[in-house]
Amino acid sequence: MRRHRTWPSITTTVSYPTTETSTYTKAKECPGDTDKMGTVWIPERIGFSKKLACRERYNGTNGNITRYCDMNGVYRDPVYNCTRDSIQKIYDELLTDRVINSEILSELANVTKKNTEQLMVGDVEKVRSILQKAALDQGQNNIEPQRYTYVESFLDVANTLFDEKIASTWKVLVNKTRTGADSIVNLVDKFVSNMVNQSNGTIHNHTFIKSNLFVAISKTSDCSNVNFPRDTYVYYSKDGGDDSWAIGRSDYIRVPCMKDQVYSGVVYRNISSIVSLNSASDRKWEKTVNAPVISFVYLSSTTAVTPVEISFEIYNQSLSDPVCAYLQFNGSGGPNIWSTEGCSLTSFDRNTGIVTCTCSHLTNFAVLMSPAAHAHSTALGMFSIIGCSISIVGLALTIIVHLVFWRTLSSDRTIVLMNVCLIFLMGYIVFLTGIEKTSNSTVCTVIAVVLHYTFLVVFFLMLTEGVMITYLVLSPFRKRRIVVPLIMAAYAIPILIVGISMGVTRLKGYGNESFCWLTVDSGLFWAFAGPIIVVVVGNIVNLVIILKFGVFGISAMAKKSDLEKIKAGARSVGVLTPMFGITWLIGVFAVNDTTSVFQWLFVILNSLQGLMIFIVKCPLDKKITWMQMRSRWARRGNSSKDSPRAETSGGDLSAAYVSDGTTCEVEMRN
């Protein structure tokens, strides 16, 4: 009993099994709560879904409300798969009649407009199916004025679905099907195109104005360029409408003119919160649509029209890093994606908020931007360039110094050092120039693969140096050269790692639409971090052996030169390996994460890497002093005037080489 009083935690566990059981139960279920719609949910077991009938909660509806209890004991957002009886009735009629007429669309427009704020997932899915059928049934409605009633009703329904009041419903659909209001964009495009084509070109010079939608159909004459919507001046709208949000802004698309061609243009006001943001790399864009989406197409021409200039007036000027993109629709019914292929950023004027893009095709265009602050990203970009440049200069100086004094400094460790510097230099240049080359996915993937391989080689070369010094410590009298097989292994092992990674991941995770580097949320992170950790741990073991048996085991050493060699190696392994490991592990997070701490740490450490190599391998190396280098340089200049043997036979400078060429002692003689 005394022990129980001394350790109350043990007493609690034994004396109160009820509390333990209660905690165990809570971990196995989601606690009850009330969602934003006011629906009360009772507790549910983890891994199961709770289902409620819509009619119990909403009169005049059918379907079910479901809510999933995840494995962490947290209720997910409920899915209101409810459909109003009035919408369900129209949907059922279509299954019978197979044809949509103006009356049906007009009735649907009234129902959706009246209940905009209450439209649920089931409503939106049914309405979307009706619009999809309507876009294909226009051949039945080519007689005036029925055609325009049909068009107005269709656009009224689409306009309601673009309303931000149902953003929460679209969010559920995006999470459920990876498809949002971008699917309605596709339907509007098809509808307008079919409408004009089936009218044999008799429909043109009309504009339909809605609160979230601006549609224009016109015909070119003698012109050099078409500027939409600026060139739109003829208006047609059943209930009028304020077009200033489309015409009065600086958004436009400028297309080379094709004479006597009918074209259609659509401006989608602000759909940033209701569209999916899927990318070509099967990941979600970490950006948002920050301007109206603009669509333009020549309806009866298959001729390619280039170049196309698009100007956007952005909504939120606190966002940065604009990317020009277009909606690539999935014809098989899968998720649509935002692609950047064929589009490039021309300019971004932050003062006016104008983004200008150039594209090589016609479709739906948008500008995607990141939520990072401009001042932070600008400063970070500037310091990244400065940091990489400092490292590049440090590496270049190290190479130059060792090449100039190669006869004096030549050794196995110097060979490893030259490999480290050259590979590191190549990696820095690729990183600096290619990390943002995301416009071409193939090029971006190649850059990410090259960076993965390059930096792995650097780390394995660092391990090579550690193994060489350890070998010298443990076998001081054996002069077998192991540098060649070690360097070969340093290049071969990363090939194996990268090759397996490419095969297992099928290149997913090697770059995305934001950067050409490894993504943290893919398994590729461990294909980089794992080997780095192994190398760092391996060199820590090497360092312990070097310190214990080499630096502090002086009596065991046969030569002073070997001791100097070991001390230099210990300094190199002990300083550079941990620094490189920490820097590039942080570097992976810095590129993937918007957290400024990681980014600034990486920038600072990154700038020190090449500089530290130079400091450790040149000024701190006893084989190299600035006085010796200056004297050496002077003697080399004088040797051109004297005999070829002046440098070695009669000069004041001599070099005593160690048997394996690893260390040399340079002396100044009087």
Give the DSSP per-residue string, 550-567. Answer: IIS-GGG-S-HHHHHHHH
* Count of other CB atoms within 10 angstroms of residue 555: 5
Query: How many domains does one find in the chain?
Result: 3
Q: Does some domain include residue 142?
A: no
pLDDT (tens digit per residue) in 208-247: 888 899 988 888 877 778 888 877 644 444 444 556 676 6
* Count of other CB atoms within 10 angstroms of residue 341: 15
Q: In terms of Cα–Cα distance, which of 209, 93, 201 is closest to 155?
A: 209
Least confident residue range of 88-92, 498-502, 510-514, 628-632: 628-632
Higher pLDDT, 38 or 161: 161
Rounded Cα distance, 260 and 485, in Å = 72
Judged against a pLDDT cut of 80, whether residue 510 lies above it is answered with yes
The pLDDT-based confidence of 294 (bands split at 50, 70, 90) is very high
Of 345, 371, 397, the position where a domain reaches its end is 371
Strands 337-339 and 320-328: antiparallel
Residue 365 sits in a domain whose CATH number is 2.60.220.50
Q: In terms of Cα–Cα distance, which of 193, 116, 121 is closest to 162?
A: 116
Q: Does some domain include residue 576?
A: yes
Mean pLDDT of 485-509: 92
Q: Is 279 helix (H, G, I), strand (E, B) or coil?
A: strand
To the nearest 10 degrees (0 to 180), the angle between helices 146-161 and 121-136 is 150
Amino acid at 402: H
Q: Does some domain include residue 12?
A: yes
Mean pLDDT of 292-313: 82
Statement to judge: residues 367 and 396 lie in one domain: no
The pLDDT-based confidence of 657 (bands split at 50, 70, 90) is very low
Rounded Cα distance, 177 and 275, in Å = 12
Rounded Cα distance, 371 and 317, in Å = 10
Statement to judge: residues 478 and 556 lie in one domain: yes
Statement to judge: residues 387 and 349 lie in one domain: no
Residue 550 sits in a domain whose CATH number is 1.20.1070.10
Q: Which two tokens stand for residue 234?
A: 């003829």
Rounded Cα distance, 574 and 586, in Å = 19
Rounded Cα distance, 212 and 271, in Å = 9
Q: Which two tokens stand for residue 456?
A: 């792995």
Strands (DSSP E) along 55-169, which ranges? 61-68, 79-84
Rounded Cα distance, 215 and 190, in Å = 13
Q: What is the pLDDT of residue 318?
A: 79
CB 129 within 8 A of CB 80: no
Statement to judge: residues 286 and 427 lie in one domain: no
Of 561, 580, 612, the position where a domain reaches its end is 612
Mean pLDDT of 435-454: 84
CA angle 290, 292, 295 (to 5 degrees): 130
Q: Does some domain include residue 131?
A: no
Mean pLDDT of the chain: 75
Statement to judge: residues 510 and 601 lie in one domain: yes
Statement to judge: residues 358 and 390 lie in one domain: no
| % of the chain with per-residue pLDDT over 90 | 15
Statement to judge: residues 586 and 546 lie in one domain: yes
DSSP annotation of 88 reads H
Statement to judge: residues 599 and 506 lie in one domain: yes
**Which pTM value belongs to this model?**
0.56
Distances (CA, A) of 117 to 32, 90, 185, 249: 26, 20, 20, 28
pLDDT (tens digit per residue) in 174-221: 888 888 888 899 899 888 887 777 766 666 678 888 889 998 888 887
pLDDT (tens digit per residue) in 327-353: 888 766 678 888 888 898 898 887 888
In the block, residue with structure tokens 């741990």: 537
* Element holding 176 (H helix, E strand): helix 167-177
Amino acid at 240: G
Rounded to the nearest angstrom, the gap between the alpha carbon of residue 455 and the centroid of all alpha carbons in its chain is 20
Statement to judge: residues 346 and 460 lie in one domain: no
Higher pLDDT, 539 or 131: 131
Q: In terms of Cα–Cα distance, which of 134, 126, 128 is closest to 150?
A: 134
The total number of residues shown for the chain amounts to 670
Rounded to the nearest angstrom, the gap between the alpha carbon of residue 344 and the centroid of all alpha carbons in its chain is 17
Q: Which domain holds residue 259?
A: 162-371
Statement to judge: residues 384 and 321 lie in one domain: no
DSSP annotation of 284 reads B
Rounded Cα distance, 243 and 589, in Å = 45
Rounded Cα distance, 320 and 600, in Å = 18
Q: What is the pLDDT of residue 219?
A: 82
Q: Is 210 helix (H, G, I), strand (E, B) or coil?
A: coil
Statement to judge: residues 330 and 290 lie in one domain: yes
Higher pLDDT, 279 or 55: 55
Q: What is the pLDDT of residue 622?
A: 60
